[in-house]
Structure 1
Amino acid sequence: MTNSLIVKNDIHIHADPSTVWKVLTEPKYVAQWDELPEDYPEEAMTIGSKVTWDLPNGGQTITKVIRAEQEEELIVDLYVSTWDTRPEEGDVVYRYNLKPHNGETHLFIEIGDFSLVEDGEMYYDASVEFAEEAKKKIKELSEET
């Protein structure tokens, strides 16, 4: 049995869940902690929202919001067209869980499961770094907003 490759990280944010939710879903904030195409629409991301990047090798990376429970959970499916196997939607995701606590928010981030794709360790390693940097910027933006 293959061990799962899921990045797990969390951070305590001195802001209420509604503010953190804005930072997770409004493109003007998302573009500050994650990459977005320059022409991405300004509307808040919701179920079905997609971001597509063209890769130098001719492939594409596609993310799609598959769950958006306001101020609770955001799940974004990840698919790379050059993967040899195509995982089921929801098998490789970015998951953001918000847990309110005394007017503040504990944000939990999970990214993966990269054991389902070739070169999964490479994606896992990159995601460890992404989660570490993204959580700090999400915290900073949420606490400033």
Structure 2
Amino acid sequence: MNGVVIWGHPEYNIKMPADTTIKGNDWVSGFRYALNSPGSSFKLAVKRVVTSLIQIRPWQSVKYKIRMLIWLIPAYILALFGIFKYWKHPIVMIVLSIIMAHLMITALTHACHESRFINYILPMFYVLSGIGAGYWLNRLRIMILKSRRPDADV
């Protein structure tokens, strides 16, 4: 049995352990399989999500891959700062729940060839990135003000 990571690209498939006790090919059988092989199923789900988030494919040019990584990695890092700093804020909780629900669907199904599934939640990552960038810019502003006037209450 192969675990499909990107639909239509068998080179990305993960070899999954066989389970002869499950008959059929419907969604109930899929859940039974996940319960019988939780480690392999979790590994497949994580690979699908990471593949979807990174958006790098072997058939893309090196220039494109570098540009994507230069753009996405800082965005994801700043988004993590935004999440960790303001995770109790209702807007952050709503945005994060939408992102997690979308990634759960990807984890349960497959990543897309041209990364179109992630296009719906990338703007939400960018909102979180803006929150994280705002936090760091505010810290930088405070450091600059304190260095100019150490006695100032900022």
TM-score under structure 1 normalisation? 0.25
TM-score under structure 2 normalisation? 0.24
Q: Which has the higher strand share?
A: 1
